[in-house]
Amino acid sequence: MATTQPNLYSFSSTDALAKELRPYVLRCQNAALARHDTFRIAVSGGSLPAVLAKALLADSNGSAEDTPQFSKWQIFFADERAVPLDDKDSNYLLLKEELLKKIPAELGEPTVYPIDEKHVHDGNTQELADVYQEALMRSFAAKDSVKLPIFDLILLGCGPDGHTCSLFPGHDLLREKDAWVAAETNSPKPPPKRITLTLPVVTSASHIAFVATGAGKKDILKSIFDSEEGRTLPSSLVNHGAGDKVSWFTDHPAVEGVAFPRRGNL
């Protein structure tokens, strides 16, 4: 359990949010490149890819610090639906349409780690999760030599029920301590079969950012930040496990009525 608090930022619009998300992500990139010459990031689906694209595809101010070095990015998925990669429900397809295919050639091409479709077709979601975990192990070192992979940055969404990744409220998966990637076969939100990073992997990341916008999120954000009952929600567990490594990028409608103190500056 972390002893520090998450950072809650709120902006007047999605455009204003994206403007601040960009230097945040690029600071994470630059620190990671200085540490190990690669930037390992996990991204979510839902509303996140569009905001991320708005942030990263904006014009650079020309400095090295403000330039995405995509050829050094390794992009994993915080969660993925067990569907083919060209299915409308695929988080990979969403990221591709919103961001990947719009990256100008001069910024380089990231290495992207989609799920192995073979195990979508054979319906074996556990195998799908295991194979994805092996891909993580190849990048971060074998599971028996490091306890947990440490992503440089994990970008998350928060559903109106407080779920994040494909970790849903009250589910046994929230207690997973060992696996890096787990299978969800009965998701309350369609599609039912998914894979997800586990909570220990999420909270071990160097930086974790949630993006949550719109009035549809205000009740759950109030619960997460202001109420005792909200403490067991998956998104709250990330806050409590990772403390000030967590930054929430919200817009004003999403935090209307939330008492938890906002931070003015990043």
Ligand X SMILES: O=C1O[C@H](COP(=O)(O)O)[C@@H](O)[C@H](O)[C@H]1O
Which chain residues interact with ligand X by CB under 6 A? 44-48, 78-79, 91, 156-157, 159, 166, 189
Minimum CB separation from ligand X for residue 145, in Å? 29
C-beta closer to ligand X: residue 45 or 114: 45
Q: Considering only CA atoms, which of 211, 218, 180, 212 is closest in space to residue 77?
A: 180
Give the Cβ contact number of residue 190 at 10 Å: 9
Smallest gap from Cβ 66 to ligand X, in A, equals 26
Q: CA distances (Å), 60 to each of 19, 38, 68, 106, 128, in order?
A: 11, 20, 9, 12, 38
- Residue 156 Cβ vs ligand X, minimum distance, rounded to whole Å: 6
Task: State in Å, rounded, how far the first CA of the chain is from the last one.
Answer: 23
Return the number of the residue (66 or 89) whose C-beta is nearest ligand X.
89
How far apart are CB 211 and ligand X at their closest, in Å? 7
Nearer to ligand X, 79 or 130 (CB): 79
- In the chain, the amino acid numbered 139 is S
CB of 220 to ligand X, least distance (A): 9
User: For ligand X, which is the closer residue by CB, 32 or 158?
Assistant: 158
Q: Which residue number places its CB atom closest to ligand X? A: 46
What angle is formed at CA 121 by the lines to CA 119 and CA 126, rounded to 5 degrees?
30
When the beta carbons of 68 and 157 are compared against ligand X, the nearer one is 157
Chain-centre distance for alpha carbon 59? 23
Per-residue burial over 206-215, b = 16 or more CB atoms within 10 Å of its CB, e = otherwise: bbbbbbbbee
Residue number, 75 or 156, with CB nearest to ligand X? 156
168: helix, strand or coil: coil
